[in-house]
Structure 1
């Protein structure tokens, strides 16, 4: 029974990686930012009408990009896991962690712009700190699993922000 639970834990970690440890603090910060904007709108909301149409357009574009990147990455990740291979194409050619990037670089800033609650950006900051803490654990696991191939990939592809090196 104990071995079975340990195996389930490792399977869960293999699927989710360190994601829950990174996203929980970000979700908490987003909730607190939203609550702060609701409780003290004069402090935590953008000024009324502040670039409203442009801000909303850019915000929705970021939110849609987040969903697209997340699901594209998830589909590719599931396929690669099923085939037990390292995927370095598609969203993984842009960033090593497309699902985390979707949340931290696109979704939370997009939600801040759409809602006008600038404090929601704190979620990206909290998530970034959690990412800095937990991503090395995930990357060590990938190095153990894929060796030099992952090392080469890590040298060529940025972690979160899709900026060519």
Structure 2
């Protein structure tokens, strides 16, 4: 059987990423300005050696999860496939979750700033706000298969 790649608008590939970006951008801009104006208020203290090691480990996991998610999305979404393995078996939105919780906050610590935590929190809040619409579209496209995946994912609240 020959599979045909779906003709799809970029919007389907991006999901809610554009909306999440629009919500997060003002937080990022204001945060960068405030961080530059008042660096001491954002400092995490160096970071201390223990925080540096922890940050490197969590950041590495986050980057791997993010890259893996990107590759899976680019490889399977254009064919209309529902991705249910790899990082998608752990959380429903691994690309967003890895950036919001594992990459930005811990990169911020390495750069001696709390700004990564603030921007990561903004991304996570936006993801939670826009996830229901994205998940409804996945349900319409995949029906019972989506329901099974939704119920089987390891950490459904992320």
Whether TM exceeds 0.5 here: the answer is yes
Q: Is the 8 Å Cα contact of residues 34 and 117 (structure 1) preserved in structure 2?
A: no
Q: Which residue of 2 aligns with 1:92?
A: 88
Structure 2, unpaired ranges of 5+: 1-6
The two structures, once aligned, show a CA RMSD in angstroms of 2.1
Q: Is the 8 Å Cα contact of residues 97 and 124 (structure 2) preserved in structure 1?
A: no
The answer as to 2:97 corresponding to 1:101 is: yes
Match of 1:14 among 4, 12, 30: 12
TM-score by length of 1: 0.80
Match of 2:131 among 132, 135, 158: 135
Q: Is the 8 Å Cα contact of residues 105 and 115 (structure 2) preserved in structure 1?
A: no
Q: Which residue of 1 aligns with 2:108?
A: 112
Q: Report how far residue 84 of structure 1 moved.
A: 2.5
Q: Report how far residue 27 of structure 1 moved.
A: 4.5
Instruction: Map residues 1-165 of structure 1 onto 2, 5 A cutoff.
Output: 11-47=9-45, 49=46, 52-157=48-153, 158-159=155-156, 161=158
Structure 1, unpaired ranges of 5+: 1-7
Moved more, 74-83 or 87-96: 74-83
Deviations 1:40-78 (CA, angstroms, capped at 9, x unpaired) = 12212123x4x5222222222233222211111121122
Q: Report how far residue 138 of structure 1 moved.
A: 0.6
